[in-house]
Each structure stands twice: as C-alpha cells, then as structure tokens.
Amino acid sequence: MDHEFSIEDLTERAKAVEATFLVHPGLYLIGSLERGLTVYNQQLRAHNLVWALWELHKHNNGEDIRRVAIVGGGIAGLTTAACFLPLFQNASITLFEQLWDLCPLQQGSDNRWLHPRIYEWPAPGSRAPGASLPVLNWSEGRASDVARMIVSEFGKFADTFDERGERLAVLLGLRHFQIEAATKRIEWIANRTTRAGAFFHIGEAEGNSGIYDIIVLAAGFGLENQSEDYPTNSYWRNEQFGQPVLDGTRQNFVVSGFGDGALIELCRLTIERFRQDTILYEMFPPPINLEEVEERLTVAWNNKGPLGNAFEFFSNFEEREILENARVELSRRIRKDTRVALHIRGKNQEVKRFSDIFGPYSSFLNRMMTFLLFKCGAFSLSMEDLELAVRRHATPRANVLCRYGTDAIGHLHSMFSDIDNIKDRLVEIKTCQKQRPQRLWAPGTFPDPSQPKG
C-alpha cells in the first residue's frame, strides 16, 4: 500500500484518497481512466471515495453536502449511490443513466463470466468467489447473475436507507446530458422514475437542470471502440461463438486486439468447453497443489515487477514443469471446429513482435493463457492490415471480432460544456494511476441493511 494511503490518521488518509478522485472542486471521477478496470475494482473505488468524503465532512454530519449527482447507472454508479445513502442522510441523490435499465451492459449477459478478483491471479486468495464488500456484495457468476445480485442489493439499500423514497431519484433514458464543471450544473432530458424494490417504473419525460454540491462520474467502461469496417457487438452481448459449430464445418475467425476482451475471445474460440470459472482447476488438476503454483508464480512475478513483459517471464520461468503441465492439459482440448487468427497490429501499428502484446495491457492470467495457447499452436498470428488479415484467413465478416477497449476520455469529453476546465486534470489522472483498487475505507464505515437495527 502506498504510504499516503497507509497512514493511521484517518483524516489525512481521507484527504489523500479524495485527492485521487478529484477532477475539479466538487467533481469526482471513479475509475474510467485507470488501467485494469474491473467491476470489483470500480466498487472498491466507490467505497473509498464516499468514505473519504464522509470522513472529511462528518464533523457537521455532512450538512454541506445536500445535493449529489451520480453519472452512470452501472455497477460503479449504483455502488456509489448505495454508499452515499446511509452516510449522508441529509443529501438527496440523483442517479443519471443513459439507457433504460440499471446495469444495462450486464443485464441478460449470459455468455460472460464475472469474478471479483481473478484478474489479480496468481495473488493469494484471488480465486475466492466472493467480493466480500460491505455495499452491494456479490459472488462470481454469469454477468447477468451478478447484475441481478447487484440491483437486488441496491433495492435493499434504497428500502432501508431511503424508506420514504424522498432522497433517491433515478433518471433513465438520457437524450441530452451536459455538465458544466465550473458551476457544477447539470442539464438533461430524461425520464424520471419511481422505484418498486429493485425495479424502476418509467415516469414523465422532463428537460431540466440543477446545481449539485457533488458530482461523481461513474460512467465506468462505457461502450467499446468500433472498427469502422468490422463493427462487433459489445463484449457484453450474447452470441454463440463459445458453442460448438452445429453444421459440421470448421469456421475461420479473426480476433483483433490484445486487451482482456480480445484474449478472452481467443480462449473461447480455441479451447474446447472453455469456462473462465473452471479453467485454472482444469489446467492445474490434483495432485498439483494450485496454491503452491500461485505462490511460486507470485514470488517470481513480483521480482520481475508488475509492468514487466510476461512473454519473457513465461519463457524463462525456472519452474518449467508448472507451465509445461498446463500446456499439456490445454493441448488436449484445442477446438476442432474453429481456426483462429489473432490480429495484433495495434492502434498505431506499434506491435512488431508477438511478445510486444505481453506488456501490462491485459491480466496476468489472460497473458498466461495466450502464451500457453501459442505454445500449443492453437492460433495463427497477424500483424498486417486488418482487411488483409481477414482476406488471407478467408474469414466471414460476422466472424471478425474487434476488441479495442473503450474510449473513456472521448466519452468523458462528450459530457462537458467546458471541457477545457478539466482536460489537463483528466490527463493527469490517467497518467498518475493513483486510484488504487484497495480497501482504504475505515473498517465498519458502511451499515449492512440486512443487520438488525440497533
């Protein structure tokens, strides 16, 4: 833990934490510009920010924070709102969501698996399925299951800490949304809702504006960048690529990109019966002790440093049999109904060698899977122009999957009428990467709505 966050004086720690989220006085950004954005990390940040604000304002019971706006009705936004509700009991909270439901990306997403900490693997305990969060807790599952858990928990928080339904307003279906950072004024056209448990009934449309004491940008991932020539459905939409091909043919695919989204597609398309929840146990079956494997990898990787190149690391890893055993397990289950090309040119054609993609662009686990699949010869590689790659691999347009991540800066810029006021600070936040996904709030800060009162 960084020194400024480990300090015992809670007020000083809160000041340090608050500063990492601050974009402009009263305007805060959760995640979005941080590397390794995950649902769980965004929730940690939401807890940290709201705790820090409470710690700095509790001397007057938060009286100076009366109006809070939260931008984004995804998991980060809901967690932020649920953290505010019990602490800032004098505040009204307005949640803005562009789409027509909460957690819209993950609702109904049955293809994608969410796990709180698997992208921290091989860190000890990273396989634990529970998030163990005091606010909007959840356990691993399909994205749709996780969305259900989160929204249901959100309903409980709202029922318990806004019993009369007067403090929380949820606005859905934004058709216009603009923030003026200098005045903390928001202008919108959207539909106000009424809440029934975890559901929100749509009410009258309204065009309106308001000035807020605090604005929290919790827009999270946003939607992905698209290739103009090969538009691909959002990562979160359901499709059938993970299922065996039913017409007996062998299909060609091109996966373009080298972030976690692309590498997960690579795994799904090359590994038979691939499941993110079981793959580690299958690659390291008994009598291999998975915890020992994790310990050895962790020690060796920590010596290398988290920003190191994982290709060199895997190639030179001294305990060769650990990875060799996993490679043998994988080689037995390469999909027979697909032929996959991994296209890794990079946005500015910066990728010159396969090993270039093993920098800190994806999780350790996905890099290890890609390395092992490479060793199995499970895919071909392309660093040429995407159009050429598609033609050379005779890939139908529908089988070209471009996973280029999101344009978080562009998304943020589009929300502001006075972007010049905050542009430099956004760049600074992106450069510094200070919003540590760690539990920095004081233990016992957030009440549990399921605990008996008193």
List of residues contacting other proteins (CB under 8 A): 1, 6, 124-125, 127-130, 132-134, 137, 139-141, 275, 277-278, 281, 291, 438-440, 442-448, 450-452
Structure tokens at 146: 């996780």
Least distance from C-beta 450 to other proteins, angstroms? 6
d(C-alpha 167, C-alpha 221), whole Å = 27
148 vs 393, beta carbon nearer other proteins: 148
Whether the ω angle into residue 287 lies within 30 degrees of 0, i.e. cis, is yes
Least distance from C-beta 372 to other proteins, angstroms? 18
Least distance from C-beta 100 to other proteins, angstroms? 30
180 vs 282, beta carbon nearer other proteins: 282
1 vs 388, beta carbon nearer other proteins: 1
Least distance from C-beta 40 to other proteins, angstroms? 13
Q: What backbone torsions phi and psi does residue 334 show, to the nearest 5 degrees?
A: -75, 135
72 vs 116, beta carbon nearer other proteins: 116
Least distance from C-beta 47 to other proteins, angstroms? 10
Least distance from C-beta 238 to other proteins, angstroms? 19
**C-alpha distance from residue 364 to each of 81, 340, 425 (Å):** 32, 22, 30
Least distance from C-beta 446 to other proteins, angstroms? 6
25 vs 452, beta carbon nearer other proteins: 452
137 vs 227, beta carbon nearer other proteins: 137
107 vs 445, beta carbon nearer other proteins: 445
Token pair 């090309």 is found at 341
Q: What is the 3-state secondary structure (H, E, C) of the chain?
A: CCHHHHCCCHHHHHHHHHHHHEEECCEEECCCCCCCCCHHHHHHHHHHHHHHHHHHHHHHCCCCCCEEEEECCCHHHHHHHHHHHHHCCCCEEEEECCCCCCCCCCCCCCCCEECCCHHHCCCCCCCCCECCCCCCCCECEEHHHHHHHHHHHHHHHHHHHCCCCCCEEEEEEEEEEEEECCCCEEEEEEEEEEEECCEEEEEEEEEEEEECCEEEECCCCCCECCCCCCCCCCCCCCCCCCCCCCCCCCEEEEEECCCHHHHHHHHHHHECCCCCCCHHHHHCCCCCCHHHHHHHHHHHHHHHCCCCCHHHHHHHCCCHHHHHHHHHHHHCCECCCEEEEEECCCCCCCCCCHHHHHCCCCCHHHHHHHHHHHHCCCCEEECCCHHHHHHHCCCCHHHEEECCCECHHHHHHCCECCHHHCHHHHHHHHHHCCCCCCCCCCCCCCCCCCCCCC
Least distance from C-beta 69 to other proteins, angstroms? 26
Instruction: Answer whether 140's CB lies under 8 Å from 113's CB.
Output: yes
Least distance from C-beta 197 to other proteins, angstroms? 20
Least distance from C-beta 303 to other proteins, angstroms? 18
Q: Give the contacts of 353 (CB within 8 A, at least 6 positions apart).
A: none
Q: What backbone torsions phi and psi does residue 381 show, to the nearest 5 degrees?
A: -120, 150
Least distance from C-beta 277 to other proteins, angstroms? 4
137 vs 315, beta carbon nearer other proteins: 137
248 vs 286, beta carbon nearer other proteins: 286
Instruction: Answer whether 96's CB lies under 8 Å from 108's CB.
Output: no
106 vs 399, beta carbon nearer other proteins: 106
298 vs 309, beta carbon nearer other proteins: 298
Least distance from C-beta 73 to other proteins, angstroms? 24
139 vs 178, beta carbon nearer other proteins: 139
